Amino acid sequence: MVFDFFRGGGQSTIEEVEETLVVMMHNARHVYDEAMGAVFGGGKSKETKKDLKKTDKEINVAQQEVRRALVMHASVSPAVDLADTLAYMSVVKDVERVGDYSKNLYDLAKYGADFTTAADFDDLDSYRERVGQLMTDAANVFASRDAEAAQYLIDKADGFLDDYDANVKAAFQSVGPAPDAVARALYFRFLKRITAHVMNLMTALVVPVHRLDYYDEAKEDRVES
Protein backbone atom coordinates (compact mmCIF):
# COMPACT_ATOMS: atom_id res chain seq x y z
CA MET A 1 0.00 0.00 0.00
CA VAL A 2 1.08 3.59 -0.58
CA PHE A 3 0.44 4.60 3.05
CA ASP A 4 0.90 2.47 6.13
CA PHE A 5 -1.06 3.66 9.14
CA PHE A 6 -0.32 2.48 12.69
CA ARG A 7 3.29 1.97 11.68
CA GLY A 8 4.61 3.25 15.01
CA GLY A 9 7.40 5.74 15.44
CA GLY A 10 5.58 7.90 17.95
CA GLN A 11 3.10 9.55 15.60
CA SER A 12 -0.59 9.56 16.39
CA THR A 13 -3.13 8.41 13.84
CA ILE A 14 -4.37 11.97 13.47
CA GLU A 15 -0.86 13.19 12.69
CA GLU A 16 -0.42 10.47 10.09
CA VAL A 17 -3.78 11.34 8.54
CA GLU A 18 -2.75 14.99 8.35
CA GLU A 19 0.48 14.04 6.61
CA THR A 20 -1.43 11.88 4.16
CA LEU A 21 -3.85 14.68 3.32
CA VAL A 22 -0.87 16.88 2.49
CA VAL A 23 0.63 14.17 0.27
CA MET A 24 -2.72 13.76 -1.47
CA MET A 25 -2.86 17.48 -2.21
CA HIS A 26 0.67 17.46 -3.62
CA ASN A 27 -0.30 14.48 -5.78
CA ALA A 28 -3.37 16.38 -6.95
CA ARG A 29 -1.10 19.29 -7.88
CA HIS A 30 1.00 16.87 -9.93
CA VAL A 31 -2.12 15.70 -11.78
CA TYR A 32 -3.09 19.33 -12.32
CA ASP A 33 0.30 20.27 -13.74
CA GLU A 34 0.41 17.29 -16.08
CA ALA A 35 -3.13 17.92 -17.33
CA MET A 36 -2.48 21.62 -17.80
CA GLY A 37 0.73 20.83 -19.65
CA ALA A 38 -1.34 18.84 -22.11
CA VAL A 39 -3.88 21.64 -22.55
CA PHE A 40 -1.19 24.27 -22.96
CA GLY A 41 0.64 22.72 -25.87
CA GLY A 42 1.71 19.28 -24.75
CA GLY A 43 -1.32 17.52 -26.19
CA LYS A 44 -2.57 14.08 -25.29
CA SER A 45 -0.14 11.20 -24.95
CA LYS A 46 -0.10 7.64 -23.66
CA GLU A 47 2.61 8.57 -21.17
CA THR A 48 0.63 11.43 -19.66
CA LYS A 49 -2.55 9.39 -19.53
CA LYS A 50 -0.73 6.57 -17.75
CA ASP A 51 0.84 8.97 -15.26
CA LEU A 52 -2.50 10.61 -14.50
CA LYS A 53 -4.22 7.28 -13.93
CA LYS A 54 -1.41 6.08 -11.66
CA THR A 55 -1.38 9.22 -9.52
CA ASP A 56 -5.17 9.36 -9.37
CA LYS A 57 -5.20 5.76 -8.13
CA GLU A 58 -2.72 6.67 -5.41
CA ILE A 59 -5.01 9.51 -4.31
CA ASN A 60 -8.01 7.16 -4.24
CA VAL A 61 -6.12 4.53 -2.23
CA ALA A 62 -5.00 7.19 0.22
CA GLN A 63 -8.59 8.38 0.65
CA GLN A 64 -9.70 4.86 1.52
CA GLU A 65 -6.83 4.40 3.96
CA VAL A 66 -7.53 7.72 5.66
CA ARG A 67 -11.13 6.72 6.21
CA ARG A 68 -10.15 3.26 7.44
CA ALA A 69 -7.61 4.74 9.84
CA LEU A 70 -10.10 7.26 11.21
CA VAL A 71 -12.72 4.59 11.81
CA MET A 72 -10.17 2.43 13.61
CA HIS A 73 -8.97 5.42 15.60
CA ALA A 74 -12.48 6.28 16.73
CA SER A 75 -13.13 2.63 17.62
CA VAL A 76 -10.05 1.83 19.69
CA SER A 77 -8.57 5.07 21.00
CA PRO A 78 -9.44 5.85 24.62
CA ALA A 79 -8.87 9.57 24.02
CA VAL A 80 -10.23 10.00 20.52
CA ASP A 81 -9.92 13.39 18.85
CA LEU A 82 -13.55 13.40 17.75
CA ALA A 83 -13.60 16.84 16.11
CA ASP A 84 -10.49 16.11 14.04
CA THR A 85 -11.76 12.64 13.17
CA LEU A 86 -15.06 13.98 11.84
CA ALA A 87 -13.40 16.91 10.07
CA TYR A 88 -10.84 14.80 8.26
CA MET A 89 -13.42 12.18 7.35
CA SER A 90 -15.21 15.00 5.55
CA VAL A 91 -12.40 16.91 3.88
CA VAL A 92 -10.51 13.88 2.58
CA LYS A 93 -13.30 13.70 0.03
CA ASP A 94 -12.53 17.26 -1.03
CA VAL A 95 -8.86 16.50 -1.62
CA GLU A 96 -9.85 13.48 -3.70
CA ARG A 97 -12.17 15.69 -5.74
CA VAL A 98 -9.36 18.17 -6.37
CA GLY A 99 -7.49 15.30 -8.00
CA ASP A 100 -10.52 14.25 -10.01
CA TYR A 101 -11.24 17.69 -11.41
CA SER A 102 -7.57 18.17 -12.18
CA LYS A 103 -7.67 14.92 -14.13
CA ASN A 104 -10.78 16.15 -15.96
CA LEU A 105 -8.74 19.01 -17.38
CA TYR A 106 -6.81 16.44 -19.42
CA ASP A 107 -10.03 15.65 -21.27
CA LEU A 108 -9.82 19.09 -22.89
CA ALA A 109 -6.51 18.13 -24.50
CA LYS A 110 -7.87 14.70 -25.36
CA TYR A 111 -10.66 16.36 -27.32
CA GLY A 112 -8.29 18.71 -29.11
CA ALA A 113 -8.05 21.86 -27.01
CA ASP A 114 -4.75 23.74 -27.27
CA PHE A 115 -4.56 27.17 -25.67
CA THR A 116 -1.05 28.03 -26.83
CA THR A 117 -2.25 29.92 -29.91
CA ALA A 118 -5.31 31.47 -28.27
CA ALA A 119 -5.73 35.23 -28.41
CA ASP A 120 -6.56 35.16 -24.70
CA PHE A 121 -3.58 32.94 -23.84
CA ASP A 122 -2.24 35.29 -21.16
CA ASP A 123 -5.57 35.39 -19.37
CA LEU A 124 -6.03 31.62 -19.52
CA ASP A 125 -2.48 31.05 -18.34
CA SER A 126 -2.87 33.46 -15.43
CA TYR A 127 -5.78 31.37 -14.12
CA ARG A 128 -3.68 28.25 -14.58
CA GLU A 129 -0.94 29.73 -12.40
CA ARG A 130 -3.39 31.12 -9.86
CA VAL A 131 -5.09 27.81 -9.13
CA GLY A 132 -1.87 25.81 -9.13
CA GLN A 133 -0.39 28.19 -6.55
CA LEU A 134 -3.58 27.95 -4.48
CA MET A 135 -3.21 24.17 -4.33
CA THR A 136 0.42 24.39 -3.21
CA ASP A 137 -0.33 27.10 -0.66
CA ALA A 138 -3.21 25.06 0.74
CA ALA A 139 -0.99 22.00 1.19
CA ASN A 140 1.60 24.07 3.03
CA VAL A 141 -0.96 25.83 5.21
CA PHE A 142 -2.62 22.56 6.13
CA ALA A 143 0.75 21.01 6.97
CA SER A 144 1.46 23.85 9.38
CA ARG A 145 -2.13 23.96 10.72
CA ASP A 146 -2.04 27.74 10.36
CA ALA A 147 -5.64 28.88 10.90
CA GLU A 148 -4.92 32.52 10.11
CA ALA A 149 -3.27 31.63 6.79
CA ALA A 150 -6.13 29.22 6.03
CA GLN A 151 -8.71 31.97 6.48
CA TYR A 152 -6.65 34.26 4.26
CA LEU A 153 -6.63 31.62 1.49
CA ILE A 154 -10.37 31.05 1.85
CA ASP A 155 -11.13 34.76 1.53
CA LYS A 156 -8.74 35.15 -1.39
CA ALA A 157 -10.06 32.12 -3.26
CA ASP A 158 -13.70 33.09 -2.66
CA GLY A 159 -13.10 36.09 -4.87
CA PHE A 160 -11.92 33.80 -7.66
CA LEU A 161 -15.27 32.01 -7.86
CA ASP A 162 -17.12 34.99 -9.31
CA ASP A 163 -14.41 35.32 -11.97
CA TYR A 164 -14.93 31.71 -13.02
CA ASP A 165 -18.69 32.19 -13.27
CA ALA A 166 -18.23 35.30 -15.38
CA ASN A 167 -15.89 33.46 -17.73
CA VAL A 168 -18.28 30.52 -18.09
CA LYS A 169 -21.08 32.97 -18.93
CA ALA A 170 -18.85 34.72 -21.46
CA ALA A 171 -18.08 31.38 -23.12
CA PHE A 172 -21.78 30.63 -23.51
CA GLN A 173 -22.36 34.06 -25.04
CA SER A 174 -19.38 33.78 -27.37
CA VAL A 175 -19.97 34.09 -31.12
CA GLY A 176 -16.68 32.38 -31.95
CA PRO A 177 -16.14 28.73 -32.91
CA ALA A 178 -18.14 26.32 -30.76
CA PRO A 179 -15.12 24.14 -29.78
CA ASP A 180 -13.36 27.21 -28.36
CA ALA A 181 -16.39 28.20 -26.34
CA VAL A 182 -16.90 24.68 -24.99
CA ALA A 183 -13.24 24.35 -24.04
CA ARG A 184 -13.32 27.61 -22.10
CA ALA A 185 -16.59 26.87 -20.37
CA LEU A 186 -15.27 23.52 -19.15
CA TYR A 187 -11.87 25.00 -18.28
CA PHE A 188 -13.33 27.60 -15.96
CA ARG A 189 -15.90 25.17 -14.58
CA PHE A 190 -13.17 22.72 -13.58
CA LEU A 191 -11.07 25.52 -12.07
CA LYS A 192 -14.06 26.62 -10.03
CA ARG A 193 -14.62 23.13 -8.65
CA ILE A 194 -10.94 22.67 -7.82
CA THR A 195 -10.89 26.02 -6.03
CA ALA A 196 -14.03 25.26 -4.04
CA HIS A 197 -12.77 21.89 -2.85
CA VAL A 198 -9.42 23.41 -1.84
CA MET A 199 -11.38 25.94 0.19
CA ASN A 200 -13.31 23.13 1.85
CA LEU A 201 -10.03 21.58 2.97
CA MET A 202 -9.05 24.88 4.56
CA THR A 203 -12.29 24.98 6.55
CA ALA A 204 -11.01 22.06 8.63
CA LEU A 205 -8.60 24.54 10.22
CA VAL A 206 -10.97 27.43 10.86
CA VAL A 207 -14.57 26.36 11.47
CA PRO A 208 -16.47 23.90 13.69
CA VAL A 209 -17.28 20.49 12.25
CA HIS A 210 -20.92 21.34 11.53
CA ARG A 211 -19.84 24.20 9.24
CA LEU A 212 -17.47 22.20 7.05
CA ASP A 213 -17.86 21.57 3.36
CA TYR A 214 -19.99 24.33 1.90
CA TYR A 215 -17.73 26.28 -0.46
CA ASP A 216 -18.57 23.93 -3.31
CA GLU A 217 -22.11 25.28 -3.08
CA ALA A 218 -23.26 28.46 -4.82
CA LYS A 219 -22.74 31.45 -2.55
CA GLU A 220 -26.45 32.04 -2.15
CA ASP A 221 -26.98 28.40 -1.14
CA ARG A 222 -24.31 28.17 1.56
CA VAL A 223 -25.40 27.35 5.08
CA GLU A 224 -22.88 29.02 7.38
CA SER A 225 -24.70 29.14 10.71
Each residue of 49-81: pLDDT tens digit?
A: 999 999 999 999 999 999 999 998 888 765 667
- pLDDT given for residue 96 in this prediction: 97
CATH 1.20.58.220 fits 13-219, yes or no: yes
Backbone region of residue 213 per phi and psi (left: phi > 0; alpha: psi in -120 to 50; beta: other values): left
- Give the span between the Cα atoms of 114 and 214, in whole angstroms: 33
Please state the pTM of the whole predicted model.
0.89
Looking at this protein, which amino acid is placed at residue 69? A
Indicate if the alpha-carbon torsion angle 93, 94, 97, 98 is positive or negative. negative
Domain boundaries, the chain: 13-219
Which residue intervals of 38-81 are DSSP H helices? 46-76
- Greatest mean pLDDT among 2-16, 49-63, 198-212 lies in 49-63
